[in-house]
Amino acid sequence: MDVRLAQPQDHQKLVDLLCVVHGEEFRALADLEVSLMFSSALKKLFFIVAVENEEVVGVAAISEEMFTTDVWGITWVGVHPNHRHNGVGQEVVEGCLNQILGRVEKPVTVILRTHPDQTGLYDRVGFKVLGPDHEGGTFMTKTIG
């Protein structure tokens, strides 16, 4: 399995996976966010993908958070249902952390929000609970660098 920054040729497979994981109702937003990655937009997400046999099987996105200093976020984390519980999610999140490390010159804080009772993956890569969010999920953080 190859974990890497998404490339323009991944666009459709990436959007399709995001919709399998997060729901078809997110197709327009997913398509927009993936398109922006390959544009000159100032504020955009960078998608990290896990590719196996030329199929995108895992994904997450990173971005430097607006209105903050030295804070990055991870979002859109997902693994195709046929590839879950095989370490793909952990590899993608670790890929996100490595991408962030390659973009910063000093320690930064990484934040994310989980679905309710779904912190195990992030616990395994060293994230700590900050507290609950307004939808029953959990805010988590990790300092890297």
Q: How much is the pTM?
A: 0.94
Domains of the chain listed by start with CATH number: 2-144 (3.40.630.30)
Report pLDDT digits (tens) over 87-133: 999 999 999 999 999 999 999 999 999 988 889 999 999 999 999 98
Q: Identify the pLDDT of residue 120.
A: 93
Would you say residue 34 has pLDDT above 90? yes
Mean pLDDT, the chain, whole residue set: 95
Strand order in the sheet with 71-79: 2-5, 46-52, 55-64, 71-79, 108-114, 138-144, 128-132
Percent of the chain with pLDDT over 90: 90
Show the beta-strand stretches assigned E in the chain. 2-5, 46-52, 55-64, 71-79, 108-114, 128-132, 138-144
Give the chain's radius of gyration (CA, Å).
Answer: 14
Gap between the Cα atoms of 143 and 145, Å rounded: 7
